[in-house]
Each structure stands twice: as C-alpha cells, then as structure tokens.
Amino acid sequence: YPAANPRTDLATAAAGARFYTERGEAEASVARLAFTSQVDQGVSLASGAQRSGCWFAFQLPSHKRALVTSVEFFPPTNPGRRQRVEESVFEVQNLTGDTTWMTIASLKDAVLTGASIAQGWNTFEVSPPISAQAFRVRILPDGCQHHGELMRGVRFNGVLLDTTESASCAIELRRVYHPLSSAPGGFVETPATLSHEASRTPILTKLTPNQGTARGGTEVLLHGSGLQPLGVEEGTSVAESVQVFFNGYPCTVLEANETQALCVTSERDSGITAPSTSVWVAGRGRALVAGENSEATTFQYIDKWSNIYSWLDSEPPVDGDSVIVPQGQSILLDQDSPLLFFVLIQGLLQFDRKDLNFDATYIWISGGHLSVGSEEVPFLHRATITLHGDRWWTIELPFIGCKNLVVTNAGGLHGGCHTLNLRHSGEAATPCYVRSVGKLDLHGRPGISWTRLVQTVEAGDTMLHLEEAVDWPIGAMILVTPSWRGHQEEVRKVQALHEGGFVVEIDKPLLRQHLGDWWHHEAVHSPTDLRAAVALLNKNVLIQGDESSLRPGNSFQFGAHMATFFGGEMRVENVELTRTGQAANFGRYSSHWHNLSPGRTVDVMDKAYLRNNSYHDTFQRAVVVHGTDHCVVRDNVAHKTKGHSYFTESGDEHYALFEHNLAVAPQPHPLLLDDDMDAAGFWLPGFTGWHRNNLAANCIRGWRVRTISGPASRQTDLTFFNNSAHACGFGWHLKPPHAPPTLNTFTNFTAFRCSTGMFYYGTGNIMHEDHRFIECGTGHFMNHLSNNLWTAPFFTDMVMVGNINPNEGFSRSWLGIRTPMDSDYFFTSGMISINYFNTAVLYGCFKTACTMRFERAQWFNTTRRTRSDMYKSGIYWDLDGTLTGYRNGFVSWDEPFNRFPDVCQWETPEHANGIVCGLDNGTVRVRRLQVFGVEPWQTDGKNMNIYTSAGKGYIKFDWVPLYGWPIPVVAGKVYDMKINDPNDFQKMTLNYAVRSHVFNEHGWHYTRATPQNEGIKLHLNYTSWRNHFASSVGNRLHREPEIDDAFGAHALKLWADQCEPYNLTNSSRQKCNGEYTNETGWDLKKELEEHLPRLPEPDGRLTTVLPVRVVGDGSEASPWGPAPGMPSGNLQQIFTPRECPLGGCPTPAPPEGREGYDVFR
C-alpha cells in the first residue's frame, strides 16, 4: 500500500540491511556511514585504500523490497573534491530475476556551479518509482584514487514493502515440556504453517477525534478495514481481541467491526511521549497505519486553554499574568489569549484549528514546543502573535532579550552550548548535552511566495499575467518589482483571480511599466530573464510588534524579534513578519539563528528552515544567520527592511543556503553597521554559503561582500549561481579588497538596469561564468586584481547589452567593463557585446597603463569597442583577433610617436582615441615602458618628450601610483626621450613590460600566446657633461648598442657640432666627435671647463637596449624561459650618471703652503 506510507529513508528504516562496498563487507562501516551519517561528517576511504573506482551499497533483507521514489546526495564541501565525483551515478538492483545494476540518476543531472556540482543536498526524483532490493552510489571516474572526502551523505528514499503480498513460514515448537520430564526437551517441527496475507492485514486510516485530555476518558473512533477479530474463542472480550495504544498509552476497545473500532483513552500519567499509534487485531496481527505519525492517525493528549481545569487552582490567566506550560503538559490554545506578560513553554502549546490571537511581552520556548500547524497539516486559519513592550521599561532577559518569540533548549546554557568555541573542522561535532530540545513550528497556508510576470504591464494596467497559478487571498497586499533604475516597486491589493490563478487583478492601476519578457539574441546560448517579480506580502500566520512601535515614543521602531539561541529547532514557513526587529539593538532581528554550531548543529541540519515567509516594513533586517551551520533560507520575500535584508554575520557559518529569495528596497539604517546606510539585499562577511536563484530589486546594493577579520577571511567557497539584480545601485559590491584562498566559480548572474552591475574594490581567484550585464550604467567596475598570469579568466562567456531594443539606436549603458586600474592580469575569455552602438565597451588600466587580455569577443551593433584616454589608459591585448582583427593585436592610446605605418593603424572608429598595432602573423608586441625613480625631484611633474621615426609627442607625469612616466612602446622600435626640464636626471629606472608576459606561454582553453624575442632601443638625452653612466645591468660599450646586444648594454656620446667651437686637443676631440664611447674621460672635462662659461657645455646622449631573449619550444623537455644573461627579476635597468672616471677622480694638488698635509680625495 505505497500510497498509505510516507517516503522513508530506506537505509535506516530497513532492519537487518546489509552494508558493503566493492570490497565486500570488510568496509561495511564506511558504507553504513555513507547512508546513515549526519552531514557534518565526511565520508572517505581508509588510508591506503585508494583504487580506480569504488562504490558504496546496502541491501535489504531478502523478504523486503522497496519502491524508490528519490535519491539525495550531499557532495564534498571542498570544490576540488566535488569536481572529482561529479560523474558519479546512483544504481539499484534486484536479487532475483534480472540482477544487473540499473542507473536511476547521475550527478551530471545536478545543476552545475562552474566546474563542480551544486553544494548541499542534490535531489533526484525517480518517476515512476522503481522496485529494487539493493542500492549503491558508484564514484566515477577517479575520485577514489585520491585520499579525501568523497561525500557527506547519500539517501535512497521510498516505500518499504514485502516481496510478495502473501508469505508463509513453518511453525516450530521450541523447548517442549513433558509433565514427567525433569528438563525441557529440544524442538519439534510441525506440519503447520503460518500465512501472512495482505488481504488479512488490518489498516487504520483515520482517528476521530485525534485529540483529548491528558486525564483520559476520551472516546476515539478508529476508521479503516480489517478491524474485526478473526477466530476468537467464545467469551473473549473485545478489549482482549483488539488492542490499541496511543503514544504508548493503552486505549481500551469497547466495540469493533470490520471498518470501525471504538476505544476509550487512559490517563497520560508518564509525561509527553513520542507520537505513535499501534493497533493489534486478534487473528489478523498488527495493523498497517496509513501515514505513520501523520495527524490523521495520531492521537494527541492535550488540554484546552479554555477549560478551567487545565489551570492550576482552576484559574485561567488574565491580562498581565504570566503562564508556564510545564514539561509533560500539553495545552491547546482554543481561544484568544489575554495580554500576557511572560509565557514560558517547557511542554507543548499548540494552536487550535481556528482564528486566534496571542499577545504577550515575552514568549520563551525553553525545551518545549510551540506549534501553529505542522509540515504535514499546515495551519489554514488566521493566527496573529503580537509582542508588546518598549525600549526603556521592558527588561531584557540575558541572551534572549525582550518583546520576543525565542526558542532555546532546556539546559546547555550554563557552561554548555554557548561556551563551546570549537568550529567545524571536517569531523562530526558531538552535540553538547541538553535536557530537552526546544521547538518552534509555525506553518501557515502553503502557497507561492513570489513569482514572475509573463507579460509586460504598462502604466494604467490592472491585470498581472503570472508564470505560476496563485491562490492569493482577495484583499492581500502584493508588490511588483521595478524594471527601471530610479523607479520604485508598486504595492497593490488583490482584487480578483482569473484563469485559474494565472492572472491577478489588482485594485488600482499601476503607475509604471514592469517587464514580463525574456530577452533573446541569436548569439547568446540561452534567454535572459528580465521579468519583474510579483510577491505576496500578507500571510495567514502573522508575527508582529504592537502598534506603538510605529509611533514616536518609547516603543518607536522597537518591534518583535524571533530567534533561536545556542540551540533549538526553528521551522517557520508561510508566515508574515512585520513591525519586527529592534532598531539599534544588536542581536534583535526579525528572525535569527544565534550561535548554534557546532554544539547544537544537530538542531539545524536537515530540520530547521525559514521558507516562504514575508518580511516587510521591519525595523531591523529580515533574516540573520550567526554562528550556525546548515541553515536553510528559501523562497522568502523581504520588502523595506531596515538595514541589510538577508545577513550572514560572523563568517564562521558553513553551508548556509539562501535559495530563491526576493529582496526589495531595503532601507537605510543609521544605527547598525556603517554600511547599513547603503542597505543590501544580501550581506556576506566573506566567501561562504550557497546563494542560488535569488533576486535583488531596487536595492542600493544587491549583494554586499565585506570581508571581516577572523574565520570569514579564511572561508574558501561561496556558491553563487543564477542570481539576479534588477534596478539596483550595485548588483554586486565587494569592499574592502579580498580574494578567497581557492578559486571560486560564480555562474549565471544577471544585472539588469543597475547603475553598476558588479563592483570590486580588489579581488582575485574568482571566475565569473555566464554573467550578463543588461543596460547597466557600467557593467563591471574594478580597482585592483590579485590574479596572476595562470589564474582562470576573470570572466568567461560574458554578455553585455547596451540596449535591449536595437531599433532605438543608442546605448543606455555608458560603459561595459572598466577593468582594474593597475593590474596586468585581467583576462576575459568569451565576451558578447550587443547594441552599444557608438558607446565604448571596454576601458581600463587607467592608472598604470597595464595590459588586459581578451579572446573570443563578438560584436553586434557595436561600432565602438574600446576607449583610451591620453596618457593614462591601458593596453588591450587581443589574443585571437576578435578585438582588433589581428592575432596578438594590441590597442593603446594614440600617440604620434607610435604611428608606425608598417604595423599600426590610427583613427579607427572601433577604438576611440586608440591606435591598433598588429600583423597577420601575430608577431607584433606592444608593451608598457615605465620610467620612474628619477632624481632630482625638480623633474617631478614634468612632461617626457618622445621622438621616433613615426612622430613626436609627450607623456605626462603620473603622480599616483607610478610616480613616473608610463609609455606604450612597440617592440622592435627606437625611442628618443628627454625630460622637459633644464635639470638633467641624476638617476633613472627603466622597466620593460611584465616578465611573465614575455617569457611564458599563456592563455586558456582556446588561445595560447607564445613567447618570442623582442625589445626596444632607447636614446636618453642630457645636457650636462657625464664621464659615464653606472648601470644595474648590462655592459658599457665603445659603440652604439644594438638590439642584438645583451639586456641593458649601453654607451654614450657627445654631439660633434657642439664640440666644434672648443679648441680641443686631438685626443679629446676623439671623445667629442659624435661617436659612441664607454666614457668621455677626465682630460676632455678639463679642456671643456677652460672654455666655460664662455661656451655652452655640449649635450650628450645615452643609448641603451632592452632586448628579451627567449629559449625553449614549449615542450615538456624544453619549456619556455629566459635565455642566459637575462635579468632574474623585473626587466629593469637603473642608470646613475658619474663624473669621475672608473678609476676615480684625480687627487687635486695641495693648497699653496700646505704641502705634505693630507687632503680629502
């Protein structure tokens, strides 16, 4: 009877299951751990047990089989380990007939997050269910070859059945006695058999009523079939032939027939026990209970609030009273409560199935249970819980505060759970001891919390066409998110539902347009969801602060708060929370998990959640996860929360899941963190948690990552998948700088009409896959990048759209990507730019003229690809020709001295203020030459004049960060430079290119850039006489250096025409004839000085070469690398002019009359 049973974890439900691996039962303990352990403990093979493939299995007893309905898998938490198991499969087998293993699911079917499977539980439905007796997970292809975690758990779910509808077994008599025997004998086999048949099995389907007083005496009618005894001896009472137990307490049967039985409950005299129902019928055996532990077939001992006998001394509470529900007591709230002061729940307090109000100042569930509906049977009436109190006069209790609905465990506070500072280390944490677990269960009417439009609505429309059918109540408040920057969401009431709930009629026309479209383009592999969201704000279960919290005064913005502290189970779904959170009171949020892990992770994992709730007009946040692992936050709506809406607090949280949540218009909060004034939809303290399928709309920041010190800075893995930001200031914002320790992959992010789609002050170690920036002011904006040459591309398969309407002919975006201002390792592989028209898409490296790499670029209705500003723009390196038309083509800002007609083109429409240099054979290189460290200081701020065979120009001084001159140069060319100042340089540093760019092969999966010999020749002009120049590298030559010389080789010369007026000796004239030499000599200096100041001092030139020599061919035997003699660090040369010869300046003659005295040399 599968339909009568819930889904069951087959491994734990089947008594006598056999666990084994491909090596048999020798590893039974490991296999058992895989199928039964809690997920805070990893499953791995024993040391030394690696093999090429492995599997974990369990087998049911031979008389059992199962209908498999789903499989769940929790992969390793480490991204690298997840990738190793991503091809694993789930298989089932029968023990008779066809015994081959059959694959029913594969991890490849899981949603991919970059190169790895989704974190957390991945569920695979099996439809129709499959009958099987053995079950396994097979790890492929090489996960078992390496030590380390293989999974956190695997579950096969389904319905347990016998192999046949009937069975029989022989009857055996043991220990047979004879009256004359002094000892019992052995056993006797009889010819009789005992038959088991489904047709004879009693079935219980319903109890009426299913509640009654703990004092007993409640008549309960059992409904079902096969309830009448068979083969009962005459004179046997009904009570003997039909036995019923509710929660372990007997219920005496008065009468029974085939379909019904009537019993009377006994007193519950040993406290509250686990819910259970047991029925035994003579001649038939134990009954099959439909929906085991469901409300329909479970009896509850509970006393009504309205019954005066439920209260001590028969005195029900009145306004101002405090109420204690002690351990072992169950109370059914069947009428509105008075305005209570303190409610302490150590037993059970349950709402009846009717409209109810509950008012109090404190509600503390201390090891007890507060229940409004259940997961199986949600609450369908109206329940309102209102918390009262003010900021000044209501006393805060330790830990838990006031005006609260909080849950804790009984025990565990004194020297217990809250003092346990151990954090997750990969091993299972032993739960700290508590006397009883507190539970908060709030389960409102199920329904869709938010959905999307499927048809654009214009201003004046009143009909909303939705993606999903809804059953939202008439009169309920709903909101529609904005589709334009600067627009606000619109709140309306449901007037009527049409077309089965797919169309909602609202009470007043909308004032603005809200999109209901997917955006398509032939070059983009999948459509982009730009549809506005429609969300329900009102729910039938309401948690709220009192009305005084809305008005100025002692209670102003001092709302209710709901939390669990240090332990306790909190399950809240389909609930409305408003006037919640206590402004300026840290730790008092609308809903809050506070420091449950690791000591009480057991109260959260696979148990606790906040889902399908509505938070609106709160005074402090919506959801806060603090120091707690495995939290589930799903399908919620947060609107106008003060401060950040969804908040992960300290950074030591693990596996917090935020999935399909909506954040709309969080409000500035001046009394929390400083950045709460720029409230975010989602706030993270580091790279932790799982954010999937969420939408932030009209937020100052959609996602804010502000890495804090401590554990947050060490977190390594943030899953960021299929999230969207609409009409936000920043779709994503990270500041201060932070890079995760290991590579993270973010997949499928859409920023639509945000001022800035993504902003990084500084980061690295992230690969952004399939990110889409649609009509954003700036798509991506970055200041600093800490990647290196071999880090994965920062963006892959990115899409940027300037205007979703190509017919408008202009771009709503003013820039696609602003790359880092000072990093040479920004790399984009795959970029589609659409409808930017004459607006530039790329701009960057504006601080240091650094180099950006691009490949696989596509352009549609985009005539302006790059923008370059004079003197302070970067160099765009086109690896495959899709940016410039040349493989290894380059774009830099246009300088006349780089207009070499053989390799460069200028004034091209695709590159604003840019010059394109490249050849079909891909041999051109454009590099950055940095000139800095120049002395004296009088040269600071002056222009650097530059001359080449192509033309002349100048470069402005860069004050920050280089403090020098960044110059784009074409490899193989000659550059003549002079600082525009009468002072000559006393020291100068030259730095050519980036070492890894010129000596290493680089690229990604598609294009490889290989090293080649390159370099430049420089003329450095000066006006004051120099004997020679000291250098950090290279030889001084007697001739003009050439590009074939060693790196840094140099020589100097004086201009011959300027030496002509001097009456020089022949030997000195040879040093001043315009020929290169390694030094000019002391004699020449003396002769020149004889004519000063009557004649001007001749000018000179220092010439040097900065060639790059590469060896190797890229093979394993001969990798690329620098040739012998190349500098070991930066490709750098430092020049310092010297007036004295290499042997030192001559010793001057002693002053007259001072012969014989030492003088300074």
Kindly report, residue by residue over 482-496, the tens digit of the pLDDT.
999 999 999 999 999
Residue 795: per-residue pLDDT: 97
Of the chain, the end-to-end C-alpha distance in Å amounts to 110
Torsion of CA 484, 489, 493, 499, to 10 degrees: 40
Residue 1160: per-residue pLDDT: 41
The pairing of strands 116-117 and 112-113 is: antiparallel
Q: Are residues 436 and 367 in contact, defined by beta-carbon separation less than 8 angstroms?
A: yes
Q: Are residues 914 and 870 in contact, defined by beta-carbon separation less than 8 angstroms?
A: no
Among 706, 752, 758, smallest CA distance to 727 is for: 752
Euclidean distance between CA atoms 1063 and 994, whole angstroms? 48
The pairing of strands 330-333 and 303-304 is: parallel
User: How far apart, in Å, are the Cα atoms of 476 and each of 459, 491, 501, 1007?
Assistant: 21, 10, 14, 56
Q: Are residues 1003 and 922 in contact, defined by beta-carbon separation less than 8 angstroms?
A: no
pLDDT at 1159 over 90: no
Coil, strand, or helix at residue 976? Answer: strand
Residues found in the chain: 1161
Write the pLDDT tens digit of every residue in 152-201: 899 999 888 877 655 566 666 665 666 665 555 555 666 666 666 767 88
Write the pLDDT tens digit of every residue in 349-369: 999 999 999 999 999 999 999
Higher-confidence residue of 30 and 641: namely 641
Is the link from the previous residue into 2 a cis peptide, with omega within 30 of 0? no
CB 1138: neighbour CB atoms within 10 A? 14
Residues 6+ apart with CB under 8 A from 1149: none
Q: Are residues 585 and 428 in contact, defined by beta-carbon separation less than 8 angstroms?
A: no
Residue 855: per-residue pLDDT: 97
Which tokens belong to 605?
């994992």
Residue 109: per-residue pLDDT: 77
CB 1018: neighbour CB atoms within 10 A? 23
Region of 328 please: left (phi>0), alpha (psi -120 to 50) or beta: left
Going through 334-419 in order, the beta strands assigned E by DSSP cover 339-345, 348-351, 356-366, 369-372, 383-387, 404-408
Residue 1119: per-residue pLDDT: 93
Residue 3: per-residue pLDDT: 34
Write the pLDDT tens digit of every residue in 1106-1139: 999 999 999 999 999 999 999 999 999 999 999 8
What average pLDDT does range 45-71 have in this prediction?
82
Higher-confidence residue of 91 and 52: namely 91
Residue type, 671: L
Q: Are residues 355 and 380 in contact, defined by beta-carbon separation less than 8 angstroms?
A: no
Residue 126: per-residue pLDDT: 86
For residue 709, the 8-state DSSP code is T
Write the pLDDT tens digit of every residue in 741-751: 888 899 999 99
CB 996: neighbour CB atoms within 10 A? 14
Average pLDDT, the chain: 90
Among 711, 814, 825, 815, smallest CA distance to 763 is for: 825
Write the pLDDT tens digit of every residue in 450-481: 999 999 999 999 999 999 999 999 999 999 99
Query: C-alpha angle 752/757/762, rounded to 5°?
Result: 165
Which tokens belong to 556?
């102003």
pLDDT at 911 over 60: yes
Q: Residue 48 belongs to what H/E stretch?
A: none
Half-sphere exposure of residue 399: CA atoms within 13 angstroms, side-chain side:
21
Residue 424: per-residue pLDDT: 45
SS (H, E, C) 555-586: CCCECEEEEEECCCEEEEECEEEECECECCCC
Q: Is 547 exposed, middle or buried (0-12, 13-18, 19+ CB in 10 A)?
A: exposed
Per-residue pLDDT band for 1091 (boundaries 50, 70, 90) equals confident
Chain centroid to Cα 219, Å, comes to: 55
Q: For residue 942, which phi and psi values (nearest 5 degrees)? A: -90, 155
Is the link from the previous residue into 128 a cis peptide, with omega within 30 of 0? yes
What average pLDDT does range 10-33 have in this prediction?
89
Coil, strand, or helix at residue 714? Answer: helix
Residue 69: per-residue pLDDT: 87
Q: Are residues 494 and 441 in contact, defined by beta-carbon separation less than 8 angstroms?
A: no
Q: Are residues 1114 and 1009 in contact, defined by beta-carbon separation less than 8 angstroms?
A: no
Euclidean distance between CA atoms 391 and 400, whole angstroms? 15
Which tokens belong to 663?
């954040």
User: How far apart, in Å, are the Cα atoms of 529 and each of 449, 450, 516, 557, 752?
Assistant: 19, 15, 9, 37, 9
- pTM for the full predicted model: 0.87
Residue 169: per-residue pLDDT: 62
Coil, strand, or helix at residue 1088? Answer: helix
What average pLDDT does range 127-144 have in this prediction?
85
User: How far apart, in Å, are the Cα atoms of 556 and each of 406, 551, 581, 583, 666?
Assistant: 21, 5, 11, 9, 19
What average pLDDT does range 445-452 have in this prediction?
97
Chain centroid to Cα 986, Å, comes to: 53
Is the link from the previous residue into 1093 a cis peptide, with omega within 30 of 0? yes
Per-residue pLDDT band for 12 (boundaries 50, 70, 90) equals confident
The pairing of strands 187-197 and 166-174 is: antiparallel
SS (H, E, C) 88-116: CEEEEECCCCCCCCEEEEEHHHCCEECCE
Euclidean distance between CA atoms 547 and 706, whole angstroms? 35
Residue-by-residue DSSP string for 687-751: SEEEEES-EEES-SEEEEE---TTHHHH--EEEEEEEEEES-SEEEEE-S----SS-EEEEEEEE
Residue 271: per-residue pLDDT: 84
Q: Are residues 194 and 169 in contact, defined by beta-carbon separation less than 8 angstroms?
A: yes
pLDDT at 77 over 90: no
pLDDT at 5 over 70: no
Write the pLDDT tens digit of every residue in 778-812: 999 999 999 999 899 999 999 999 999 999 999 99
Which tokens belong to 966?
């960044």
Residue-by-residue DSSP string for 429-457: PPPPP-SB--EEEEE-----SEEEBSS-B
Residue 426: per-residue pLDDT: 42
Q: Residue 519 belongs to what H/E stretch?
A: strand 518-519
